[in-house]
Structures are given as C-alpha cells and as structure tokens.
Amino acid sequence: MTLTGGRILLTGATGGIGHAIARGLAARGASLILTGRRADVLESLAEEVGGHAVGCDLYERDDIERLTREAADVDVLVANAALPASGALTELTQAQIDRMLEVNLRAPIALARALAPGMIERRRGHMVFISSLAGKTSSPASSIYSATKFGLRGFALGIREDLRPHGVGVSVVLPGFIRDAGMFADADVELPAGVGTRSPQDVADGVIRAIERNRAEVEIAPVSLRLGASFAALAPQLASTVSRRMGSEKVAADLAAGQRDKR
C-alpha cells in the first residue's frame, strides 16, 4: 500500500529508533499519531513531523483503550514500543516480568485486535510489529526479552494469514544490533570485533519497505548475523556453543547491567 495520505499509529515514538521511523514515514507523506511516555519529547517530535501526540503508557490497559479510540481509523499500525527486558530470570522480580510481558507482547496484540475490524471493513491497512533477531535466536540473560520477541514474531506471521483475505497486510521487522539508538546504544555495550551493526535509519527504511511491499519479514542486520540467526533456528545447541566462544556471555552481562535501571 502507498503511505501518501495514510494515517499511521506509531508506538514507542520517543526513542531514537522511533524518531527515525516517524521521520521516514512523514517523508513519505503519511499523517502520524505518535505515542510514548515522555510528553516533552513526544510533543517536540509531533511538531517536527506535523503529527499528533498522544501520551500513553502501554503498561496501563486503560491507556491502551483510550489510544485505540483515538486511533480507530488509522490505516497502519507500527508497534515499535518495547522495554529492554534483559537480565537473568532469577534476577528479575515477578512485577518486572509482568511489565515486560505487558508492554512488549500483550500491548501490541491488544492494539492489533482493536484496530483490525476497522481495517477489515475498509479492506485497507497494514500492521508492522518490531520484533528482533532475538525473536529467532536467544542469548544469555535474555529469556524474557526473547520470549516476547519470539511471541511477537509468531503472532505477526499468524495474523498475516488471518487478515490476508481481507486486504490487510502484516509484517514483522527484525533488527539486529543497532548503533546510535536502541537498547545496545543506550546501555553503551561494546560489541565483539567484527560484529556488524545497522542504523536507526535502516530500521525506518525496513518499516517502509515492509508496508509498501507487504513483506512478511524484514531483517535489519548484516548478512552474517542473518545467517547466524537462521543457523541457530536449525541447530540451537551448536549455535549457542559458537556464540559463547565469540563472547556472547560478556555482551549479555554488560547489556543487563546497562539496562538495570530501565526495568
């Protein structure tokens, strides 16, 4: 579908990747409803791209219901919001786990369920779910994060088939390591030598490509990481052994430490 003149709901707009997606969609002529928890950042971005800001905490179910009422007639949902959700299971409280599951998985499912009937009736629409390569392969100290990203990927591919007969597209976007924004950049994690990264603009371009071409999956990562994720799906035990030898445990520990105050 074309983005020109379309109305788009973008969650998680206040982060660096959210900013890049918002700017990319606005440049395509889309009208944006932007959501996030930081009102000052949200208002500034909305003014920049000519969008409408709606403060929203996706952990609060009343906020989700209010948001779906305000965005009932959107053409596109881009579910980008997520909590880092890093850390070993035994280091997390149940309250932290519940919040991670609520924001990362339940909220996008709830938004999709609320917005799908309108798209079906109009026989027009698209939904994009921002998962991660962690939705294909897991690493240490990421059990809850991977659970949400595996789940989001499975949900997206499932409803893609449900909505296809109604003219509504669904895509899942799977970023790898993103520089300058996102959870690895925010935690200031040093990646092993030779591990390739992509930019927030690459994520934005992937979202646009997913919508305009109705792609089922779009991976935002170098070829080596994409092949590694595919290999891990086929041989998880061997892939984990290789990953450990490449320093995955240190990266995971650094990431969890850098994100501890964001749980």
Active site residues: 145
Count CB neighbours of 67 within 10 A.
Answer: 25
17-39: b (≥16 Cβ within 10 Å) or e: bbbbbbbbbbebebbbbbbbbee
Query: Residue 173 CA to chain centroid, in angstroms?
Result: 7
Describe the strand order of the beta sheet including 52-55 as a list of residue ranges.
52-55, 31-36, 7-10, 76-79, 125-130, 168-175, 217-220
d(CA 138, CA 132): 10
Q: Which amino acid is at 34?
A: L
Indicate the SS3 state at residue 25. helix
